[in-house]
Amino acid sequence: MKRNFVFGWFISILQSLSSVSLLATSAWLLSRADQRPSVMYLSLAVVGVRAFALGKAFFRYSERLVLHDATFRKATDVRTGIYSTLVDRAPIGLRDTSVGSLLTTMVDDTEESLNVDLRYRPALLQSIAVTVAGSAVYFWLVPQLAWIMLAVLLLGSTITYWGSKRNYGKNLIQLNALRSQLAELSENAVNRARVIRAYGWQERSNQKLDELAKAVSKAESQIARTTGLLQALIAGAMYATIAVALMVSLLSGTILPGEQVAVLVLLPLGIYEYLQALPNALQSKQKAGISIQRLAELESLSVPEQLVSKGNEKVSTFEKLELYNASVTYPNGKQVRLPDLNLKQGETITLEADSGAGKTTLAHVLVGFINPSNGSVLLNGRPIVSFEHNSLRQIFGLVEQQPNILAGTIRNNLLLAKPEASDQELVQVLKEVELWGMLSKREGLETQVGNSGSKLSGGEAQRLALARNFLADRQVIVLDEPTSSVQFTQGKTLIRQLLSQARERNCSVILITHEPKLAKMTDRLVKF
Partner 1 sequence: MLLVGLGLLGSFASVALALAISGLIENIDHRKPIDFAYLLWFGIGFLIKVAIPFFQERLATSVSTNVKQNFRKELLGTDFSSSDVSPAEVSILVTRGLDALDAYFGKFLPQFIYTLVVTPIMVTLFFFVDPLSGLILVFTIPLIPLFMIFIGKATKVEQDRQLESLTKLSAHFAEVVRGLSTLKLFGRIDHQLHVLREIGDNLRIKTLKVLRISFLSGFALELAASLSVALIAVTIGFRLIDGLIPFATAMFILILAPDAYLPIRMIGANYHASTEGIAAATKVLNLLDAPKISQESASTYEPGLEIWLGPSGVGKSRRMDKLVAGSNAQSVAWMPQHPTLFPGTVEENITGGGKLNQTAINWSIKFAMLQDVPLNLLIDDYGQGLSGGQAQRVALARALYRLKTKGLNRLLLDEPTSSLDEATGMEIWKNLAALSKKSNSIVVITHQEKYVELAERVIRFEA
Judged by CB under 8 A, the chain residues 141 through 200 that form the site for partner 1 are 179, 182-184, 186-195, 197-200
Shortest spacing between CB 267 and partner 1, in angstroms? 12
According to the binding rule CB under 8 A, does residue 85 interact with partner 1?
no
Strands 341-344 and 374-379: unpaired
According to the binding rule CB under 8 A, does residue 229 interact with partner 1?
yes
According to the binding rule CB under 8 A, does residue 355 interact with partner 1?
yes
Binder to partner 1 among 1, 6, 72, 500 (CB under 8 A)? 72
According to the binding rule CB under 8 A, does residue 79 interact with partner 1?
yes
> Site for partner 1 (CB under 8 A): how many residues?
131
At 525, the amino acid letter reads: L
Shortest spacing between CB 5 and partner 1, in angstroms? 14
String of contacts with partner 1 for each residue 390-429, x by CB under 8 A: x--xx--xx----xx-xx--------xx-x----------
**Cβ closer to partner 1: 34 or 443?**
34
Shortest spacing between CB 324 and partner 1, in angstroms? 25
Name 233's Cβ contacts closer than 8 Å, sequence gap at least 6. 156, 159, 160, 163
Task: Output the CA torsion sign for 79, 85, 88, 94.
Answer: negative
According to the binding rule CB under 8 A, does residue 57 interact with partner 1?
yes
Shortest spacing between CB 205 and partner 1, in angstroms? 8
Distance, CA of 404 to CA of 406 (rounded, Å): 6
Shortest spacing between CB 418 and partner 1, in angstroms? 8
Residue spans of alpha helices (H) in 253-352:
258-275, 278-300
**Cβ closer to partner 1: 40 or 381?**
40
- Binding segment for partner 1 among 22-30, 114-122, 163-171, 442-450 (CB under 8 A)? 22-30
**Cβ closer to partner 1: 87 or 381?**
87
**Cβ closer to partner 1: 198 or 316?**
198
Name 366's Cβ contacts closer than 8 Å, sequence gap at least 6. 321, 384, 392, 396, 398, 476, 478
**Cβ closer to partner 1: 386 or 390?**
390
**Cβ closer to partner 1: 23 or 433?**
23
Shortest spacing between CB 238 and partner 1, in angstroms? 9
Binder to partner 1 among 7, 10, 68, 421 (CB under 8 A)? 68
CA distances from 527 to 47, 338, 376, 513 (A): 92, 11, 18, 10
Q: How many residues does the chain have?
A: 528
Distance, CA of 458 to CA of 449 (rounded, Å): 12
**Cβ closer to partner 1: 29 or 292?**
29
Residue ranges in 249-268 that form contacts with partner 1 under rule CB under 8 A: 249-250, 253-254, 258, 261-262, 265-266
Backbone angles phi, psi at 426, to 5 degrees: -65, -45
**Cβ closer to partner 1: 39 or 312?**
39
According to the binding rule CB under 8 A, does residue 96 interact with partner 1?
no
Strands 335-337 and 382-383: unpaired
Residue spans of alpha helices (H) in 121-201:
121-141, 143-191, 193-198
Distance, CA of 528 to CA of 514 (rounded, Å): 10
According to the binding rule CB under 8 A, does residue 450 interact with partner 1?
no
Binder to partner 1 among 174, 176, 227, 440 (CB under 8 A)? 227
Q: Are 348 and 509 in contact (CB under 8 A)?
A: yes
* DSSP H/E element including 341: strand 341-344
Binder to partner 1 among 158, 302, 374, 451 (CB under 8 A)? 451
Shortest spacing between CB 105 and partner 1, in angstroms? 11
Judged by phi (left if over 0) then psi (alpha if -120 to 50, else beta), residue 325 lies in left
Q: Are 510 and 479 in contact (CB under 8 A)?
A: yes
Q: Which residues of 314-337 are buried (b: 16+ CB within 10 A; e: fewer)?
A: ebeebeebbbeebbbbbbeeeebe
Binder to partner 1 among 176, 452, 492, 528 (CB under 8 A)? 452
- Which of 320, 370, 369 has its CA nearest to residue 345? 320
Shortest spacing between CB 54 and partner 1, in angstroms? 7
